[in-house]
C-alpha cells in the first residue's frame, strides 16, 4: 500500500530494447508524491519509451516499476486507474454522475480556451487545438499521477503558459507529474527535479538550480552611467568585455558571493561607480550542452498525429 512517504513513481533499473537497438540502458527514476519531474532529452533519447512503460502501454525487458503504490507486474490495472495519460483511456469518471462528467468537460474546455470550438468536429481542429483537447481529456477523472509527454510542443506562447498554469494548479492539489520536454525553460519553470536522459541513460539529475551549478560559467556585469565611467571600468577590468552601446562591462566570473566581493573591491579601488550589478548563472541550455555534448535540442517540432 502507498504510504505518505512512498514515492508516487519509482522505476529502478529500467531497460528496453527494440530488436537490436538498446533504448533504455538501466534508468532509475523516483518521483515523490506531489512533485514534478521533468525528463529532459533530445530526439530519440527514450523519453516517450519511458512514459509508455510507466503507464503500462509498453513492455520492458528489465527493471521494477511502482506507480501510485501499484506494482506494474502485479497490478497494472491499479496503475491505469490512478494515472492520466494524454488521450489513451476512457475519459468518463465512474464516480461522477453523467451530468457532473459533462460539467467537468465544459470546465476543462473553458480552461483550455476551447469553448468556442467545442461544437466543431475535432477533424477541423488545428494541431495546437487537438493538443489542448488531448490534454484536457487527460485530466478528466482527476488522476493522482499524470504523465505529460511533451505537453506544450506545438502550442503557441499563450497556450503554453495556460498549460503551465494547469500543471501548477494540479501540483497545488497534490498531483504528481512526470513530464517530458525538450524545452529547457519549461523544465526550469515547472520541475522540482530534472532528469537529463541521453542515449538511454540518465546523465544528470537534480533540481534545476543544482544542475546549473554543475556547469562552470556565469558572469558578473557592471552597468555604468556614461562613457567616461565605462572607460574607467574597462581599464580597471582588463579581462572584461565592454559594450559601448549598452554601457556595460561583463566579467566571466562564477556567480557566487566571493567573486562578487572581489569585483566590488576592485571597482572601489579604481573609483568605478556602477549603477547596477547583474549576476548571471548559466542556464539549463548550458547544462544540457555540457552534459550531453550535443547542441540544444530543437525547440519546435511538428506535433505527432
List the grid coordinates of 159: 497556450
List the one residue out of 137, 146, 141, 143 whose CA is nearest residue 111: 137
Among positions 11, 14, 23, 267, the unique one binding ligand ATP when judged by CB under 6 A: 23
User: What is the smallest separation between the CB atom of 199 and Mg ion, expressed in angstroms?
Assistant: 14
User: Residues in the chain, how many?
Assistant: 305
Q: Which stretch binds ligand ATP (CB under 6 A): 41-49, 165-173, 218-226, 242-250?
A: 41-49
Q: Which is nearer to ligand ATP, 44 or 174 (CB)?
A: 44
- What number of other Cβ atoms are within 10 A of residue 209's Cβ? 10
Site string for ligand ATP, 180-199 (x = CB under 6 A): --x-----------------
List the grid coordinates of 203: 546523465
Among positions 11, 27, 41, 263, the unique one binding ligand ATP when judged by CB under 6 A: 41
Distance from C-alpha of 4 to C-alpha of 2, rounded to nearest angstrom: 7
Distance from C-alpha of 249 to C-alpha of 240, rounded to nearest angstrom: 6
**Residue 299 touches ligand ATP, criterion: CB under 6 A:** no
CB 43, CB 22: distance < 8 Å: no
**Residue 59 touches ligand ATP, criterion: CB under 6 A:** no
CB 86, CB 135: distance < 8 Å: yes
Q: Which is nearer to ligand ATP, 49 or 55 (CB)?
A: 49
DSSP β-ladder status, 201-206 and 248-252: unpaired
Considering only residues 200-239, where is the footprint of ligand ATP by CB under 6 A? Answer: none
User: What is the smallest separation between the CB atom of 91 and Mg ion, expressed in angstroms?
Assistant: 22
Among positions 48, 189, 281, 296, the unique one binding Mg ion when judged by CB under 5 A: 48
**DSSP label at residue 145:** E
Which residues contribute to the site for ligand ATP (CB under 6 A)?
A: 18, 23, 41, 43-49, 182
Which residues contribute to the site for Mg ion (CB under 5 A)?
A: 47-48
Amino acid at each position: 500500500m502507498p504510504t505518505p512517504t512512498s514515492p508516487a513513481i519509482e522505476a529502478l533499473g529500467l531497460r528496453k530494447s527494440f530488436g537490436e537497438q538498446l533504448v533504455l540502458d538501466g534508468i532509475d527514476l523516483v518521483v515523490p508524491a506531489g512533485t514534478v519531474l521533468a525528463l529532459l532529452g533530445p530526439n530519440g533519447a527514450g523519453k516517450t519509451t519511458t512514459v509508455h512503460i510507466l503507464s503500462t502501454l509498453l513492455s520492458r525487458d528489465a527493471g521494477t516499476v511502482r506507480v501510485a503504490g501499484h506494482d506494474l507486474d502485479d497490478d497494472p490495472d491499479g496503475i491505469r486507474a490512478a494515472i492520466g495519460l494524454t488521450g489513451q483511456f476512457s475519459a468518463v469518471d465512474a464516480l461522477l454522475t453523467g451530468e457532473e462528467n459533462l460539467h467537468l468537460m465544459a470546465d476543462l474546455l473553458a480552461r483550455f480556451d476551447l469553448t468556442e470550438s467545442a461544437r466543431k468536429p475535432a477533424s477541423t481542429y488545428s494541431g495546437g487545438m487537438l493538443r489542448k483537447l488531448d490534454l484536457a481529456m487527460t485530466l478528466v477523472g482527476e488522476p493522482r499521477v499524470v504523465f505529460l509527454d511533451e505537453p506544450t510542443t506545438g502550442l503557441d506562447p499563450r497556450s503554453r503558459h495556460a498549460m503551465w498554469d494547469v500543471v501548477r494548479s494540479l501540483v497545488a492539489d497534490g498531483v504528481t507529474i512526470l513530464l517530458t520536454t525538450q524545452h529547457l525553460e519549461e523544465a526550469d519553470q515547472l520541475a522540482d527535479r530534472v532528469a537529463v536522459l541521453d542515449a538511454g541513460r540518465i546523465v544528470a539529475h537534480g533540481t534545476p538550480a543544482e544542475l546549473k551549478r554543475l556547469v562552470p560559467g556565469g558572469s558578473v556585469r557592471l552597468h555604468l552611467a556614461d562613457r567616461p565611467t565605462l572607460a574607467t571600468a574597462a581599464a580597471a577590468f582588463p579581462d572584461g568585455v565592454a559594450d559601448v552601446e549598452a554601457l556595460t562591462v561583463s566579467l566571466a566570473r562564477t556567480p557566487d558571493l566571493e567573486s562578487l566581493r572581489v569585483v566590488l573591491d576592485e571597482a572601489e579601488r579604481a573609483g568605478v561607480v556602477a549603477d547596477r550589478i547583474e549576476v548571471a548563472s548559466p542556464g539549463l541550455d548550458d547544462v544540457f550542452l555540457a552534459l550531453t555534448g550535443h547542441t540544444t535540442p530543437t525547440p519546435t517540432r511538428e506535433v505527432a498525429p
